[in-house]
Amino acid sequence: MDYLEIKGGKKLSGNVTISGAKNAALPIIAATILSDKEITLTNLPNVVDIRTLLKLLTMLGGTVDHDKTVAKINNGSITSTKAVYEIVSQMRASILVLGPLLARFGECEVSLPGGCAIGQRPIDLHLKALETMGAKIEIKGGYVHAMAPEGLHGANIIFDKITVGGTENIVMAAALAKGTTTIINAAKEPEVVQLCEMIADAGVKIEGIGTNELTIHGTDREPLNFKTVDIIPDRIEAGTYLCAGAITHSSITLNKVNPQHIRTSTDKLESMGCTFDIGEDTMTIYPPKELKPVDLTTMEYPGFPTDMQAQFMAVAVMSKGESLIEERLFENRFMHVSELNRLGADIWLKGSIAAVKGVDELYGADIMATDLRASSALVLAALVAEGTTNVHRIYHLDRGYDDLEGKLSGLGADITRKRESR
Residues designated catalytic: 116
Residue-wise over 346-372: b if at least 16 C-beta within 10 A, else e?
Answer: ebeeeebebebebbeebebbebbbbbb
Minimum CB distance to ligand EPZ, residue 53 (Å): 10
In terms of CB distance, is 122 or 288 closer to ligand EPZ?
122
C-alpha distance across the termini of the chain, in Å: 9
Greatest C-alpha distance within the chain: 65
In terms of CB distance, is 29 or 272 closer to ligand EPZ?
29
Contacts with ligand EPZ, residue ranges (CB under 6 A): 23, 26, 93, 119, 121-126, 161, 163-166, 306-307, 329-330, 372-373, 400
Minimum CB distance to ligand EPZ, residue 30 (Å): 10
Minimum CB distance to ligand EPZ, residue 13 (Å): 28
DSSP string of 238-263, one letter each residue = HHHHHHHHHHTT--EEEES--GGGGH
Within 10 Å of residue 211's Cβ, how many Cβ atoms?
10
Minimum CB distance to ligand EPZ, residue 172 (Å): 13
Distance, CA of 387 to CA of 365 (rounded, Å): 8
Minimum CB distance to ligand EPZ, residue 37 (Å): 25
In terms of CB distance, is 208 or 288 closer to ligand EPZ?
208
Minimum CB distance to ligand EPZ, residue 77 (Å): 26
Minimum CB distance to ligand EPZ, residue 331 (Å): 7
Distance, CA of 365 to CA of 344 (rounded, Å): 9
Alpha helices in 122-257 (DSSP H): 124-132, 164-175, 190-201, 235-247
In terms of CB distance, is 127 or 415 closer to ligand EPZ?
127
In terms of CB distance, is 98 or 291 closer to ligand EPZ?
98
Helix (H) or strand (E) holding 75: none
Distance, CA of 131 to CA of 213 (rounded, Å): 19
**Angle formed by the axes of helices 164-175 and 190-201, to 10°?**
10
CB distance 82 to 89 below 8 Å: no
Q: Which of 138, 78, 74, 72 is nearest to 104 (CA)?
A: 78
Alpha helices in 43-123 (DSSP H): 48-60, 85-88, 98-105
In terms of CB distance, is 93 or 199 closer to ligand EPZ?
93
Q: Minimal CB distance to ligand EPZ: which residue?
A: 165
In terms of CB distance, is 10 or 336 closer to ligand EPZ?
336
